[in-house]
Amino acid sequence: MTTIISLKLRNFFAVCVKFHHKIFIRPRKEFLHNLRTSEIIVVTPIFFPIMLIRSKKNPKLFFNYVNSKKMKQEGVGTLLSRGGTLVDENGEKAEILNSYFSSVYTSEEPDNEGFPCNMPSSSNLATDAWVTREEIQKRLEHVKVNKGPGPDGIHPRVLNELSAVIAKPLHLIFQDSLRSGMVPRDWRIANVVPLFKKGSRSQPENYRPVSLTSVVGKLLEGVIRDRVLEYIAVHNTISLCQHGFMRNRSCQTNLVAFYEEVSRNLDAGMAVDVIYLDFAKAFDTVPHRRLMIKLRNIGLEHNICNWIENWLKDRVQRVVVNGTFSNWTSVVSGVPQGSVLGPLLFNLFINDLEVGIDSTVSIFADDTKLCKTISSMQDAAALQSDLTKLDNWAANWKMRFNVDKCKVMHFGRNNINANYLLNGSVLGASLMEKDLGVFVDNKLSNSRQCHSVATKANKVLSCIKKGIDSRDENIILPLYRSLVRPHLEYAVQFWAPVLKKDINELERVQRRATKLVKGMEDLNYEVRLSRLGLFSLEKRRLRGDMITLYKYIRGDYRQLGDVLFSHKNNQRTRGHPFRLEERSFHLKQRRWFFTVRAVRLWNALPSEVVMADSVNAFKRGLDEFLINQNIQGYCDTNIYS
C-alpha cells in the first residue's frame, strides 16, 4: 500500500512541479528521482501545504485524497436480482438498478379534464425570461470546472475557458429554445449515478438515482429557475411551511419553527401529537401532466411552461456503475434529482399540500410533519381528519405515502396516546425520530443527538490521526474545520446541549483535535485555543445563537422571525432598538429552546454590535465583544441561563 501511495505522490509532485515550479525548481530532479517508500513521512509535510493551496481553487483534490485514506470505499454493492440471486458484475448491476428506478414511475390518464386543483389561479405573468448575452457569459465564468460532463461529453472546463467565445452562440440557442418552447434532445438524457442511502447495499431500493445531465442544458435551467424564483418571491407563492430548496430557509429554520410550537404547548401543560410522514419515491413519481396544471395555475409565462413541459417530455436515462452503462430507458414521471430545476418544480408541485389543513404542517422538500395539541378524543379526531385529507391529496395527485416509515410521536405526560390511520393502517408510535438528520425524542431531550454527533466526529478525527502523518497546524486545523467540526455544529442552534455531560462530550472532541497539533500536547486547553485562534465549542454555540438571531431580526430570516419573536415596546434609551420580549417558561426544555435562551444575551449586546448593517459586520463586532468576555461569566450572572 505504501508503494502505491509513493507512486501517487510521485505523479502528484510532477504536477506540482509543473504548476508551482518556483517552489520545487531546485530539488526537482533529486527529489522525484530518489523518492522511496521510506520517504513518505518526510514528504507529507511538503505535500499537504501545496495541496491545500491548490485546494482553494479545486476542493475536490483535497477531499479525493482524504477519501482515498478511508479503509472502506463506498459504491454499489453486490445486488439482489428479482430472481433472488446475487449479482456482482457491473453491467448486470446497472440493469438491475435501471429496472428498479423505472418501476416506480407514475402513469397518468390520457387527459386531466375535470381534474381537481387546489392551487389559487392567477393571471399574472412572470418576469420576462429572455436572457442576455452578458448573463450567459457570467454564468459560464462561474461554472464549476471540477464537475464531470453530462452524456453529451461537453466538459464544464471547456465552457469556462471559452466563455467569451461561446457566450454569443449559446445566447442565440437559449433565446430560440425559450421562444419556441423546444428543448434539444441532448438536454433530456441523463446518466444516472446510484447513491447509497442506508440499509442493505444488496437491495436496489436503498439507492437514490442522481441524474448527470448536460452542463449546457443546466445553464438554461439556472436561468429559468432564477426567473421563476423572482416571480414566486414577488407573489409569495411558496408557503412559509416549506423550508426545502428555498433561499434563506434551511433544515435548522424548519426545526426551530416547528418545535417552537411543540415546546411552547408542552410548557403550557398541553399534550401534543406529531405525525411524521414519508412520501414513497417522491421526486421520481411526480406526474408530469398534473405538475403542468399547477405551474400554469400560479401564472407562469406561457413560454416558460411550454419549455418546462418539453423538458420533461421524452426523457431517457441509463444507469452507470463503475463506468459500465445499462440500456436506455424512458422516464415517464418525476423531476430529475441532480438537475437545477428539479427541486423547485417539486416545491411548486407539493405547495398546496397544506390547503384545508387545520393542524400545523411543516415541510422540508418531501419530509412532512403534522402537529396538533391533544386534550380529548375530539382533538385526535380532528388530527385524524387532517391526516385523511393529506392521504386524499396524495391519491388525487398520484403520490403515495410509505406507511411503514410514517410514525406518530406522543408528547406530554397527559397524552391520551390516540391511534391514527393512514391508508387503512395504524401508524406506529415512536419514542424517537431522526428529523432532518437530528434525533428528536418525546421529551425534547438532546442527549442522544449529542452522543451521536460526538461519535461521528471522533471517528473522523481518528481517521485523520491514523491516516495523516503530519502534525502541522496548517494541515490539522483545515482538516478539523472541514471534516470534524461540521458534525458538531449541524443545526446546533436547534439541539444545543443542556446537560454538563453532553457539553463536555462535545468539547472533548475539540480537545482531542487541538492536541494533534505539534507542540500543543502538553499545554492546557485554554492556551491551545488561544494559540490556534479558536473559540471553545460552547462559545461558538453562543456566537452561533447571536448570528442566527441577527438573521431572524435584521437579516434574511426576517419573514420567519416576525412569527417567532416579539419586539419590546418600551421607551428605554439604554440598549439597542431591537430588544426582544423575554418569555417566561416552566420546563427546562422550553428554557433552553433557541427562541427563549438566546433572547437575554441578544438584549444585552452593545448597540454598535446589533446595529451592524450586514451579517459579516455583525460577526466582526460580535467576535470583538466575545473575545473580551468570559463565557462562564454569562452563566454566573444569568445573562445566558
C-alpha closest to that of 252 among 406, 435, 517: 435
555: which residues sit within 8 A by CB, 6+ positions away? 615
Which pLDDT does position 110 carry in this prediction? 66
Q: Which ranges of 20-55 would DSSP assign to H, the alpha helix?
A: 21-24, 28-34, 40-55
Structure confidence at residue 148 as a pLDDT band (50, 70, 90): confident
Decide if 218 contacts 339 (C-beta within 8 A).
yes
In this prediction, residue 52 carries a pLDDT of 59
Strands 407-411 and 428-429: parallel
> 574 pLDDT exceeds 90?
no
Three-state DSSP at 596 gives: helix
Flag whether the pTM goes above 0.75.
yes
Question: For residue 436, is pLDDT > 90?
Answer: yes
Above 70 in pLDDT, residue 1? no
Answer whether residue 121 shows pLDDT above 50.
no
What average pLDDT does the structure give for the chain? 86
| Whole-number Cα distances in Å, 446 to 134, 289, 433, 456, 496 | 50, 44, 12, 16, 7
Q: How far is CA 347 from CA 366, 393, 411, 493, 615, in A?
A: 8, 15, 29, 25, 28
pLDDT of residue 317: 96
Asked whether the beta carbons of 374 and 384 are under 8 A apart, the reply is no
Kindly tell me if the per-residue pLDDT of 444 is higher than 90. yes
What is the rounded average pLDDT of the residues 452-471? 89
Strand segments, DSSP code E, in 265-339 are: 272-278, 315-321, 324-325, 329-331
Give every CB contact of residue 298 below 8 A, 6+ residues apart in sequence.
119, 120, 122, 232, 235, 237, 348
For 111, phi and psi rounded to 5 degrees? -140, 170
pLDDT single digits (tens) 307-318: 999 999 999 999
pLDDT in tens, 315-344: 999 999 999 999 999 999 999 999 999 999
Separation CA 605–CA 387 (nearest Å): 44
pLDDT confidence of 120, banded at 50, 70, 90? very low
**Which strands sit side by side in the sheet containing 428-429, from one edge to the other?**
360-364, 367-373, 272-278, 407-411, 428-429
What is the phi/psi pair of residue 49, to 5°?
A: -55, -40
473 touches 521 (CB < 8 A): no
What do you get for the CA distance between the two ends of the chain, in Å? 53
Q: Which of 110, 435, 481, 507 is nearest to 274 (CA)?
A: 435
Burial of 198 (0-12, 13-18, 19+ CB in 10 A): exposed
DSSP string, 166-234: HHHHHHHHHHHHHHHT---GGGGEEEEEEEE-SS-TT-GGGEEEEEE--HHHHHHHHHHHHHHHHHHHH
Question: Looking at residue 639, what is its pLDDT?
Answer: 42
pLDDT of residue 39: 36
Nearest CA among 94, 77, 567, 633 for reference residue 325: 94
Output the pLDDT for position 14: 44
The pLDDT value recorded for residue 57 is: 54
pLDDT of residue 77: 82
Task: Report the length, in residues, of the chain.
Answer: 641
Q: Indicate the range of 56-70, 161-175, 198-212, 473-487 predicted with least confidence.
A: 56-70
Query: CB–CB of 403/273 below 8 Å?
Result: no
Half-sphere CA count of 433, side-chain side, radius 13 A: 22
Burial class (CB in 10 A: 0-12, 13-18, 19+), 297: middle
Give dist(CA 24, CA 31) in Å, integer: 9
Percent of the chain clearing pLDDT 70 (strictly above): 83
